[in-house]
Structure 1
Amino acid sequence: MTRVSDAETRVLVSGATGRMGRRVIGEAAARDDVRVVAGVSRDLSVEIDGTPVEPAEEFRFVLAEYEPDVLVDFSVPEASREFVTDCAEADVACVVGTTGFSGIESTEDEFAEGGLAALREASEQVPVLRASNFSRGIQALLRAVEGAVRDLPGYDVEVTESHHRHKRDAPSGTANSILDRIESAGEFDRRVHGREGDSLREPGELGVHSRRAGGIRGEHEILLANAHEELRLTHRAGSRAVFADGALDAAVWLAGRGAGQYDFSEVVAE
């Protein structure tokens, strides 16, 4: 896969009629370094701001017809694993923003056959970048959280995330990334999801709370506290545009790179 540096990156958007897919198409129209050539969706063929959206079941034909450089995927896990497999065969890079893969990996066999395994297999042929959140602010938050947990050993830690009423997965993919960072930096041996009844905090617990309401675009708060003080780290997304622009930044950055697995932190670092 080669890329002409001064050319627009040609992007195909999956999940194009969803909230994020539509926003990616809209934000791309304001940029001169990227162009959405088409989208795919489970819905019937439509157009979004002049961009053709084709049926998802015709994905392979769409790849051949529109010749994208990069897929930007905001679909669902079951569809995403098929899209990236087809992209690997067609030599198309993949930026994956779909979350909730754990929901289809409840057994060892399922894990081996699909989900994240499909992304890893695709990365052996094409560049694949998967992120639970494409906000640059979240990248800064992840670094801050890791440092805070290391600097405050023994402090209780609770993570609360809030999203709109239609979000499928809980905790959010971003919350899981935050939790992973906390566990890597501190001594926590289990996650406690919500509290009810007789639920005295025990050593090693990492509290997790998910809220779903209205049209909240995304809020994540980390509380660190002991008997004498507390520290709160919070990120609020004011618009889905921040995620759409980040995904497009990732697509431009990824185009033309060698096969392998990449992280959004690498995009932010450059």
Structure 2
Amino acid sequence: MTDASDLRLGVTGATGRMGREVLEAVDDREGCDAVFAVNRSPEADEIGGVPIEPASEFDALVAEREPHAVVDFTGPDAALAYAEACAAAGVAFVTGTTGIDGGDRERLREASESIPVLHASNFSRGVAVLDRLVAAATRSLPEFDIELVETHHRGKRDAPSGTANALLRTVESAREEAAEGGADSDPPGRVHGREGEAPRQPGEIGVHAVRAGAIAGEHELLLAGDHEELRIAHRAGDRGVFAAGALEAADWLAGRDPGWYDFAEVIDG
């Protein structure tokens, strides 16, 4: 962790929805400075007083401006390239880019052998707590049916959202734990939406993605038994909450030993 008055950041995907939010959050945060911001296709001269520079200059900018950490919200290919450049330069890397899985995740983990890396599908403190509640509820109610509904703005590309996928992994892991403990729990299986004749099968986890308007993000998990139901939900009123969480993560991560870190560790201090 850096001194609170001396956090130097690089920002990627600067003209995207989250890149803009991050730069505005930096501008509002005392003791935080964006020493550079890049975008593959610059659509603005500056944001929050920070000049937007070509992504092709990223490697040189990391070396010249010496940030403590880079905050990334781009796409999987770009995020991996930035992570590897940060690994070569010895700069901590924080990314909220979704869609990173399989071999891509392994490449990101390889970068964490040289630098501290923190990848999170969501930088909201509330969502971090939601994940813990989902795990506890799923373990305690193994016989209940589960449905997950997530809602985002019309421009969101991936479905289900990265946060939804993280919550689904939590549900699946908790069900496996319950089964190992002797509970009567069927193997989990995801069903994305339903159409026509589609009666619910044992062990299903229903998944529904809604895209509309300018909704920042909503996630609701329904656990339903025969005579009762439990709903656990989180709603983000503004994307600024995710940008603030990413800056908090960058401040916490900067200066730590190389390794793979989780946003829950930031929440726990």
Q: Scaled by the length of structure 1, what TM-score is found?
A: 0.92
Q: Distance in 1 between matches of 2:34 and 2:206?
A: 41
Identity score, percent: 54
Q: Distance in 1 between matches of 2:253 and 2:192?
A: 36
Q: Distance in 1 between matches of 2:78 and 2:106?
A: 14
Q: By how many angstroms is 1:171 displaced?
A: 0.5
Pick from 12, 15, 31 the counterpart of residue 14 of structure 1: 12
Q: Which amino acid aligns with 2:23?
A: I
Q: By how many angstroms is 1:6 displaced?
A: 5.0
Cα contact 1:69–1:93 (8 A) shared by 2: yes
Q: Find the counterpart in structure 2 of residue 212 from structure 1.
A: 211
Q: Distance in 1 between matches of 2:169 and 2:139?
A: 14
Q: How many residues align?
A: 258
Q: Distance in 2 between matches of 1:74 and 1:5?
A: 24
Residue ranges of structure 1 left out of the alignment (5+ in a row):
106-110
- 1:126-152: per-residue Cα shift (whole Å, max 9, x none)? 000000000000011111111111111
Q: How does 1:168-179 map to 2 (within 5 A)?
A: 168-179=157-168
- 1:133 paired with 2:131, answer no
Q: By how many angstroms is 1:229 displaced?
A: 0.7
Q: By how many angstroms is 1:75 displaced?
A: 0.6
Q: Find the counterpart in structure 2 of residue 108 from structure 1.
A: none
Q: Distance in 1 between matches of 2:20 and 2:210?
A: 24
Cα contact 1:33–1:252 (8 A) shared by 2: no
- 1:62 paired with 2:61, answer yes
Q: By how many angstroms is 1:100 displaced?
A: 1.2
Q: Find the counterpart in structure 1 of residue 178 from structure 2.
A: none
- 1:151 paired with 2:140, answer yes
Q: How does 1:1-270 map to 2 (within 5 A)?
A: 5-44=3-42, 46-102=45-101, 105=102, 111=103, 115-186=104-175, 187=185, 188-270=187-269
- 1:86-108: per-residue Cα shift (whole Å, max 9, x none)? 00000110001000124xx5xxx
Q: Distance in 2 between matches of 1:48 and 1:66?
A: 18
Q: Distance in 2 between matches of 1:101 and 1:141?
A: 22
Q: By how many angstroms is 1:189 displaced?
A: 2.5
Residue ranges of structure 2 left out of the alignment (5+ in a row):
176-184
Measured on the aligned residues, the alpha-carbon RMSD in Å equals 1.3
Q: Scaled by the length of structure 2, what TM-score is found?
A: 0.93
Q: Which amino acid aligns with 2:121?
A: S
Q: Distance in 2 between matches of 1:27 and 1:150?
A: 37
Q: By how many angstroms is 1:7 displaced?
A: 4.0
Q: Which amino acid aligns with 1:264?
A: F
